[in-house]
Amino acid sequence: MTDKLILNEDRFFDPDPKIRKVARELYEGVKDLPIISPHGHIDPRWFAENKPFPDPAELIVTPDHYVFRMLHSQGIRLESLGIPTVDGSPVEQDRREIWQLFADNFYLFLGTPTGIWLNHEFSQVFGVKEKLNGKSAQRIYEQIQEKLQSPDFLPRALFDRFNIEAISTTDGAADSLEHHETIRKSGWNAKIVPSFRPDGVVNHLHTDIWRQNIKDLGRASGMDIGSYAAYIRALEKRREFFKSRGATSTDHAVLVPYTHELTSGEVNGIFQRALKGRATGDDDAPRFTAHMLMELARMSIEDGLVMQIHPGSYRGHNEMVMKKFGPDKGGDIPIQTEYTFNLHELLNRYGNDPRLTLVIFNLDESTNSRELAPLAGHYPAVKLGPPWWFFDSVEGMTRFRQSVIETAGFYNTVGFNDDTRAFASIPARHDLSRRVDSNFLAGLVTRHVIDLDEAQSLSRALAYDLAKETYRL
Amino acid sequence: MTDKLILNEDRFFDPDPKIRKVARELYEGVKDLPIISPHGHIDPRWFAENKPFPDPAELIVTPDHYVFRMLHSQGIRLESLGIPTVDGSPVEQDRREIWQLFADNFYLFLGTPTGIWLNHEFSQVFGVKEKLNGKSAQRIYEQIQEKLQSPDFLPRALFDRFNIEAISTTDGAADSLEHHETIRKSGWNAKIVPSFRPDGVVNHLHTDIWRQNIKDLGRASGMDIGSYAAYIRALEKRREFFKSRGATSTDHAVLVPYTHELTSGEVNGIFQRALKGRATGDDDAPRFTAHMLMELARMSIEDGLVMQIHPGSYRGHNEMVMKKFGPDKGGDIPIQTEYTFNLHELLNRYGNDPRLTLVIFNLDESTNSRELAPLAGHYPAVKLGPPWWFFDSVEGMTRFRQSVIETAGFYNTVGFNDDTRAFASIPARHDLSRRVDSNFLAGLVTRHVIDLDEAQSLSRALAYDLAKETYRL
Amino acid sequence: MTDKLILNEDRFFDPDPKIRKVARELYEGVKDLPIISPHGHIDPRWFAENKPFPDPAELIVTPDHYVFRMLHSQGIRLESLGIPTVDGSPVEQDRREIWQLFADNFYLFLGTPTGIWLNHEFSQVFGVKEKLNGKSAQRIYEQIQEKLQSPDFLPRALFDRFNIEAISTTDGAADSLEHHETIRKSGWNAKIVPSFRPDGVVNHLHTDIWRQNIKDLGRASGMDIGSYAAYIRALEKRREFFKSRGATSTDHAVLVPYTHELTSGEVNGIFQRALKGRATGDDDAPRFTAHMLMELARMSIEDGLVMQIHPGSYRGHNEMVMKKFGPDKGGDIPIQTEYTFNLHELLNRYGNDPRLTLVIFNLDESTNSRELAPLAGHYPAVKLGPPWWFFDSVEGMTRFRQSVIETAGFYNTVGFNDDTRAFASIPARHDLSRRVDSNFLAGLVTRHVIDLDEAQSLSRALAYDLAKETYRL
């Protein structure tokens, strides 16, 4: 029983000596490339304020639903992990207790990407030299805690050390982007740009939350949104504002990627009903979202923002968790997704237009070879986003490449996104991706599908060029 | 052309020397562990009576739909294989003829798990030393036949020799469990427990068969089932009886895993219509089943029986076979299955309750990474059953691990089930599973995803601990 | 950076030395077997006329939608590739320009089967010794162009050199088969047979095109098709004619493989409405197709033609491409497909009949292990076609074997189809298939699932015997 935490230099490479040799060589060529992170969820405030992260539990456990959903699945209560409640009812406050509980159950992450990322983070970011478990828990807590108080572990210092060339946050339509502005004016030379994610004013227009969001959008855009036309103008203004702050992309989470343009009468009618709180959730709301995907594609063609779609997640599937702890708490479950029919109208209207870049993310692997690769391998606008969420893993990324490259080629994919709220895991995620891609390419080289020099060129494209070029960063 | 039947010691392990070395080491650690068999279909009567199995054809060919469906698919008539007809019309009776036909076509099983299990069974259980084919057929028949007459091959002797620590049969709601009782009283120290499978009184309540089953349930529970409330009480009484006979689990086959609680008025209405033979098959029956899954989960929370669901098989797809030869004759075909929406109501009501263990089996692999692993990786109640039926194979088990572990972890799975009617194949099935899991873990070790000592602990969990603990055996 | 085009002798084999050794040995045993090509789209006119292929661009780029869909996906306009327009509006005519554009972008095919086939074709058919790229483009153009003018590269000479034992074209119900007849009478001893594909008179009966097709069918069969009964008789006559010209199979492309026999009144009503141009596209047309699949199965039982179904492609998804350039231009996208329910009626009526051979092709991989392998592993009539279209690739063919063989066995599959319009790619496609199958079998041998002699027998079956026997060629 070894208790040392050692990251093997050949980790995630096939043990076959020929594949491993080529994988190493490819990996050597990309491991030190700067990080391009065109889609993620870090909080720009951290970098605007540049205050120390408070403690290991708050840095690593409580903000990361990848971590606590697994603990929850084994019957560990979210309260005991210190996850804050919506109504402020009390939860565990003792950070060392939370950390101990996490450490006691860290074996649950064996074989998971979360386990891989955390071990990388412990070892490479914090210099931890022993495995996390119940016995080592408090020693490791202290070691990380000590580091977090030093200047080298302030957010900006870590950002620089992580070699991040450009990163995009995800921001609501009414966001002031004040933190981005603070960063820009601070003289610190880091590229942290926003992306425009108007879900709150596009989806669920039958809810009170939507109406509140419309008010916020009106305020942010300096307009009175009393009509659909005003709403569209407000969105366009906000997109311009985001662009002026460096944004190069938008993002849209939808349950179903259905696209359909309504008539002017239909959409005005729905919008007016919604403003009065009379829109329906099972008819008006999905039709409006379908229509807005058409409008948002049109806007992207006009203003050049790359359009991203993240469909297929049933958000808040666990209503108890949603109600008690809020959104993004691990209770989102994928659903079967259909693209060929749903995207038909959008692609027929805009899919041949070279000005549109539509990056599709996916949680339903059965569509990869059946629908997405053929769509990306034909329509000029369509590009495939990297393996998302449950698929950002050794096996998941490998399956993605195996199922899409033969039909879509490499150049209709867009490199890697880390898509994370866990800032300190960013290097781990990019490293894992670079290793898995190196290994995948090494498999092609050793089976003589491509040559080594071709693999080297592709390796760099996957690790750096494609993300930078696609997202215009 | 070699005709010798030799089981290679490294079978099913990757040929890469590093992987193979680790796989061997892991397999060595688990190969002799006792067998826990928490879900299967052996007949308890065999062990109550302990009479010799009649002959090779009746032991191996005629009861095993894995065997004769393949022969049927190549145009071999079920009559010529001696499969008994429902109406008693004549079928082949000459056991040697049946065996010869089976042997002549044994090459059809090349590359299939059935082929693997049978060769293991021939070699390890019966000491056969040559491959089965048309030429060797009668020699092997005689060899097995001779063994079957000896005391060492009586059902109980084989059970002991197979090193089975605990096995669960599958029994209807009205079953007397007399054979279990006979076994228990016999002084033979073997753990053969029933499990409660009330499909006959839960599904298809629009049929005459259901009404007959309700009468049987009434008789078995000593109640007059004239109302839904009486029906529920009868089920609860039967569950108590099953528990008193050692049962630790229930099992439910449903076409679609839709869950929905009806109002008291609705369910009473449906039940009364059904008693009168006026319930509908396309509306009442599926709604009643959906409601009953809710009720059965509630009962499991109350009485502690582990709840299993086996959804997604279109039973009796081949109506000719169903009508002529009865159910479970190889004509059951899987359908596309949906879990995220269908289980929503059950999981929101009971899924966070630590008292519920819900083991889900699956025939639609596309749901493994998309729905099942995320559900198991979040809800405390949900555990994933092992690869079922068409997936209980080298590639099937490997794909299962590759598609679920990264999201659900190892500890939201439940080890292995042999799920078989073919008693003599039980050691072969567990051995195959242990080999495939050893190989899978060896792949993780050699790619440095986990360490060897972690793999050893997981290996034991998959081969023994998880099944024993989950099923409370 | 190597610019030499070299096909490694071990290409597509696993680098593991044990697997590679066995794969080589298996491949050696099948690589020189004659080609059986029971389903494809070459033009019989080429062989009837035996004129030189005009130039490299017209041979390789403009007829092959695998090639130009990928170029289109990267924003290269089809006009600039010389793809002819429906209305005759001008497109690029300079063959060297087209070739240059293709060569400049040949890197897009890295890792794709199209890239593999083209390199094989360049190297083995045309003796090209350098890689195709922008610099080598014109040299290679000239080299191929020169070859095409020589007698050794006439269609019949290539056919003989490719060692094609039998090939089936795909022909409409009203086709005169004159080119097949010309070939037959020419004294050239090559087996080029038609197959009967009546899609134009079976699908979309609500369109003017269908009505035109019915007139053509009437003319071809010498009948006046004024009734459904006449239509059926006409089809039967045409099938007899096709058989007399050597046909052994039929083929049916359907969006959804729904099968359902209509009553005589229903089908007559639909047919009469259709003749008058009053049938509906969303109701009459799919019901008629479902009914016709039943009728066509009946005809196959009666006349012995092997029945093929190619379901699940949304043809003409990109309407701009469809309208401007016509069908089969890369804008066909697969859809989710369902077989268990859809084929239920057909299989219950005819699936146990040993006279029917129903070969199913598939574009939805999720159905392979879930529905198709179980259906093929049970019903005598059902056989699984080889990986089609987007799956005719290293990974695609490997996944197909991994997902179906364990349930369906090898003998419910039908060997390989090249399914191509690109004549010069035929040897490449069969060679790739033989290599991938050799490698797959070598994996089974080295993991001791099957023995080497069993693998050799299977290898030959997959490369030659199964196609020849199933299609009765």
B360 SS3 class: strand
Which pLDDT value is given to residue A458? 98
Q: Is the pTM of this model over 0.95?
A: yes
What pLDDT shows up at residue C299?
98
Residues of B in contact with A70 (CB under 8 A): 377, 409
SS (H, E, C) chain A: CCCECCCCCCCCCCCCHHHHHHHHHHHHHHCCCCEEECCCCCCHHHHHHCCCCCCHHHHHHCCCHHHHHHHHHCCCCHHHHCCCCCCCCCCCCCHHHHHHHHHHCHHHHCCCHHHHHHHHHHHHHCCCCECCCCCCHHHHHHHHHHHHCCHHHCHHHHHHHCCEEEEECCEECCCCCHHHHHHHHCCCCCCEECCEECHHHHCCCCCHHHHHHHHHHHHHHCCCCCCHHHHHHHHHHHHHHHHHCCCCEEEEEECCCCCCCCCHHHHHHHHHHHHCCCCCCCCHHHHHHHHHHHHHHHHHHHHCCEEEEEECEECCCCHHHHHHHCCCCCCCEECCCCCCCCCHHHHHHHCCCCCCCEEECCCCCHHHHHHHHHHHCCCCCEEECCCCHHHCCHHHHHHHHHHHHHHHCHHHECCCCCCCCCHHHHHHHHHHHHHHHHHHHHHHHHCCCCCHHHHHHHHHHHHHHHHHHHCCC
pLDDT digits (tens, 9 = 90+) for C324-380: 999 999 999 999 999 999 999 999 999 999 999 999 999 999 999 999 999 999 999
Dist. CA C26–CA C441, nearest whole Å: 8
CB A208 within 8 A of CB A214: no
- Rounded to the nearest 5°, which phi and psi values hold at A190? -130, 140
- What are the angstrom distances between the C-alpha of B193 and each of B170, B180, B245, B418, B420? 9, 7, 7, 15, 15
Which amino acid is it at B200? G
**With an 8 Å Cβ cutoff, are A370 and C364 in contact?**
yes
| A473 pLDDT more than 60 | yes
Q: Is the Cβ of C1 closer than 8 Å to some Cβ of chain A?
A: yes
How far apart CA C69 and CA C75 sit, in angstroms, is 10
Please name the member of B2, B14, B69 whose beta carbon is closest to the beta carbon of C447: B14
Q: What is the ipTM of this complex?
A: 0.98
What are the structure tokens assigned to A216, written together?
């916020």
Which pLDDT score, from 0 to 100, does residue A2 have?
65
pLDDT at B257: 98
* Three-class DSSP category at C334: strand
The pLDDT, as a whole number, for residue C294 is 98
Tell me the DSSP string of C8-65: -TTTTS-SSHHHHHHHHHHHHHHTTSPEEE-S----HHHHHH-PPP--HIIIIITT-H
The partner residue sitting opposite C453, judged by closest CB among B1, B330, B394, is B1
- Of B254, B263, B357, B360, the closest CA to residue B305 belongs to B357
pLDDT at C2 over 80: no
pLDDT tens for each residue of C156-178 = 999 999 999 999 999 999 999 99
- Residue A334, strand partner residues: A313
Domains, chain A, ordered by start: 52-153 (1.10.2020.10)
d(CA C196, CA C211): 19
Dihedral (Cα; A36, A39, A45, A48), 10-degree rounding: 30
Cα dihedral across residues B135, B138, B143, B145: positive or negative: positive
Residues of chain A in contact with residue B410, where contact means CB-CB under 8 angstroms, are 110-111
Q: Which residue of B has its CA nearest to A390?
A: B407
Q: How far is CA B207 from CA A352, B212, B280, C272, in A?
A: 55, 9, 9, 40
Q: Which residue of B has its CA nearest to C383?
A: B73
> Which site among C362, C402, C407 would you substitute to test the B interface, given the most B Cβ atoms closer than 10 Å to its Cβ?
C407
Q: How many CB atoms lie within 10 A of CB A449?
A: 25
d(CA B59, CA B421): 10
- Phi, psi dihedral angles at B311 (to 5 degrees): -100, 170
Which chain A residue shows the shortest CA-CA distance from B398?
A: A395
Hey, what amino acid is at B257? P
What is the pairing mode between strands C333-334 and C313-314?
antiparallel
Per the CB < 8 A criterion, the answer to whether C257 and C309 are in contact is yes
B341, B374, B451 ranked by CB distance to A2: nearest: B451
Strands of B164-168's sheet, edge to edge? B35-37, B164-168, B192-193
Mean pLDDT per 10-residue section of chain B, whose length is 473 residues: 89 98 98 98 97 96 96 98 97 98 98 98 98 98 98 98 98 98 96 98 97 98 97 98 98 98 98 98 98 98 98 97 96 98 98 97 98 98 98 98 98 97 96 98 98 98 98 95
Helix (H) or strand (E) holding B237: helix B228-244
Q: Residue B323, Cα to own-chain centre: how many angstroms?
A: 23
B331–C340 C-beta distance less than 8 A: no
Tell me which of B13, B19, B406, B450 to substitute to probe the interface with A (most A C-beta atoms closer than 10 Å): B406
Beta bridge partners of A359: A308, A383
| Gap from A31 CA to chain C (nearest CA, Å) | 21
Q: Does C12 touch chain A (CB under 8 A)?
A: yes
Predicted local confidence at residue B30, as pLDDT:
98
Q: Does C437 have pLDDT greater than 70?
A: yes
d(CA C205, CA B58): 54
Q: Percent of chain C beyond pLDDT 90?
A: 100
Q: What is the pLDDT of residues A424-470, one digit of tens each?
A: 999 999 999 999 999 999 999 999 999 999 999 999 999 999 999 99
Length of chain B as a residue count? 473
B328: left (phi over 0), alpha (psi -120 to 50) or beta: left
Q: What is the DSSP letter of C462?
A: I
Q: Do A449 and C116 touch (CB under 8 A)?
A: yes
Q: What is the DSSP letter of B461?
A: I
The pLDDT of residue A4 is above 90: yes
Say if CB C331 and CB C342 are below 8 A apart: no
Amino acid symbol at C229: A
pLDDT digits (tens, 9 = 90+) for A282-324: 999 999 999 999 999 999 999 999 999 999 999 999 999 999 9
The sign one gets for the Cα dihedral B388, B392, B396, B402 is positive
Q: Which helix (H) or strand (E) holds C359?
A: strand C358-360
Q: Above 90 in pLDDT, residue C42?
A: yes
C451 shares contact with chain B (CB less than 8 Å): yes
In angstroms, the CA B270 to CA B266 distance is 6
CA C185 – CA B278 distance, rounded (Å): 69
Mean pLDDT value across chain C: 97
Which residues in chain C are contacts of B14 at CB distance < 8 A? Answer: 447
Distance CA C411, CA C405 (A): 9
Using DSSP bridges, classify how beta strands A333-334 and A313-314 pair: parallel, antiparallel or unpaired: antiparallel
Tokens of B93: 């009776």
pLDDT digits (tens, 9 = 90+) for B228-241: 999 999 999 999 99
pLDDT at B2: 65
Local structure of C224: helix, strand or coil: coil
CA dihedral for A228, A248, A399, B400, sign (positive or negative): negative
The answer to whether C365 faces chain A, any CB pair under 8 Å, is yes
pLDDT digits (tens, 9 = 90+) for B9-28: 999 999 999 999 999 999 99
Q: How far does the CA of residue A108 sit from the closest CA of chain B (Å)? A: 6
B379 CB-contact burial (10 Å; exposed 0-12 / middle 13-18 / buried 19+)? buried
CB–CB of B182/B164 below 8 Å?
no
* CB < 8 Å to B74, chain C: 380, 411-412
Nearest alpha carbon to residue B228 among B259, B266, B199, B200: B266
Angle between helices C394-408 and B394-408 (to 10 degrees): 110
CA angle (A106, A111, A113) in 5-degree steps: 85
Say yes or no for a CB contact (<8 Å) between C318 and A351.
Answer: yes
CA distance B295 to B252: 12
- β-bridge pairing B35-37 and B171-172: unpaired
Q: Could you read off the pLDDT of A347-386 as tens digits, one per residue?
A: 999 999 999 999 999 999 999 999 999 999 999 999 999 9
**Helix, strand, or coil (residue C202):** helix
pLDDT value for C171: 98
Q: Which residue has the tokens 């023994």?
A: B464
Are C446 and B15 within 8 A, CB to CB?
yes
